[in-house]
Each structure stands twice: as structure tokens, then as C-alpha cells.
Amino acid sequence: TQLLEQSPQFLSIQEGENLTVYCNSSSVFSSLQWYRQEPGEGPVLLVTVVTGGEVKKLKRLTFQFGDARKDSSLHITAAQTGDTGLYLCACLYGNKLVFGAGTILRVKS
Amino acid sequence: DVKVTQSSRYLVKRTGEKVFLECVQDMDHENMFWYRQDPGLGLRLIYFSYDVKMKEKGDIPEGYSVSREKKERFSLILESASTNQTSMYLCASSLVFSGYNEQFFGPGTRLTVL
């Protein structure tokens, strides 16, 4: 069982559609990070959320940390082909950064 | 810009060979990490290092060793490569080790063991 469960595993949508991906756990975290990994590259940090209920916006991306700090969501408005990639959530667990399995997003033109 | 470079993008080796994967970062980061990435499993930590000559096991260290002789360089060694070590290997570095601090990743090495 993974510490962080991400859903859906795979999402294929048309350009212009909205979408939400989720990162859930039964554990409480002091912070949670979202990374995006484009094909052929390493992951790149998008955001870190630290406060329960926190909402952060990065252009068309909206990140939310659950009130209980056990879950997080990433909402993309009007998806573009450049949003295609693997979205990973990560948290500090003990002395290690633990990653979820990720959501593969494919945006078709 | 922080840059993490890995010695090879693609590597093909035979079972039983000794394999060296090299990683270099140019931002004077204290911490360096080696992960492997497999479909459906996400990134799994193999080893990490928080200082020169220091290393700690991650979640899946079996079959691997590491070396950190200089601050900017962290090497992953497969002592005797096996087919189940076919994977994408990612190196990362960070200034401070915390859940608030960004890890910077290299582009990855896709290793195939035949």
C-alpha cells in the first residue's frame, strides 16, 4: 500500500477542458509538494502547500491542501497541450521524501 | 539556474556487469539522492547523502551502492546488474533536507539490462 494514493492513474482530455487530480493519504503531513514531469525529463517542483485549507494558484493551476492535511488536489483550467506530463505529489515521511505513483495527463489538440 | 546532470540518458548493459551512473550538481547543495522510477510505482528512493562521504539507505538499497567523494558528485553503482534493475534512474539534489525544500532532478538515465 502506497503512503500517497494518486487518482486517476491516467487522464486523456481535449484541449480546453478542465480537470482535477487527487492525492490522498490516511496520514497527516506538515507539507505536501506537487511536481510535474514532462516526457524525457526529471520532475520539476510546481508548488509546496503547508497550511490546512491552503489554496495556491499558479496561472491555470490551482492547488488545494485539505483542512486535515491528509489530502490535496490539483485543478487545471482550460488545459493546454503543454500541460501533458506526469503529475506527482510528495511528502516528507520520516527522513525521506515519499512520492505517489503519479497521474499521467495527456492533453490532445 | 540549478543544474543536475547525469552522465548518460540511455544505457544498455548485460547481466552481471558492473554499472556506474554519475550525477553532478552545480549549486553547492548538501543533499543528493538516487531514485528509480517504474510505471505505477512512482519514485522510490535508493540511497541519499547529506554530506561528502556520508550515505544513508533509502527504501530499496539492495543490489546498489553509492559513492560521494566530492560534494558535487554522487555516483550510483550496480555491483552486478540484473534484469530487474532495468528502470529509469533519477538523481536529485537539495540545499536543505525538508518537506518544504525543493528537490532538483536530473533528466534521468534509462538503463536496460539484457
pLDDT digits (tens, 9 = 90+) for A44-85: 999 999 889 999 999 999 999 999 999 999 999 999 999 999
CA-based nearest residue to A28, from A66, A55, A60: A66
The minimum CA-CA distance between B7 and chain A, rounded to whole Å, is: 14
Of B17, B41, B79, B10, the C-alpha closest to A101 is B41
Q: Measure A82 CA to nearest chain B CA, in Å.
A: 18
Chain A hits for B107, CB-CB cut-off 8 Å, are 40-42
Residue-wise pLDDT tens digits, B77-113: 999 999 999 999 999 999 876 656 789 999 999 999 9
Q: Which three cell numbers stand for residue A64?
A: 488545494
Instruction: Output the nine-digit C-alpha cell for B82.
Output: 540484473
Q: What percent of chain A has pLDDT over 90?
A: 79
Collect all residues with Cβ–Cβ distance below 8 Å to B101 and sequence separation of at least 6. Answer: B94, B95
SS3 readout for chain B: CCCEEECCCEEEECCCCCEEEEEEECCCCCEEEEEEEECCCEEEEEEEECCCCCCEECCCCCCEEEEEEECCEEEEEECCCCHHHCEEEEEEEECCCCCCCCCEECCCEEEEEC
Which of B59, B103, B109, B110 to substitute to test the interface with A, most A CBs within 10 Å?
A: B103
On the CB side of A28, CA atoms within 13 Å amount to 5
Closest by Cα among A27, A29, A31, A11 to A75? A11
Nearest to A45 among B42, B102, B106 (CB): B102
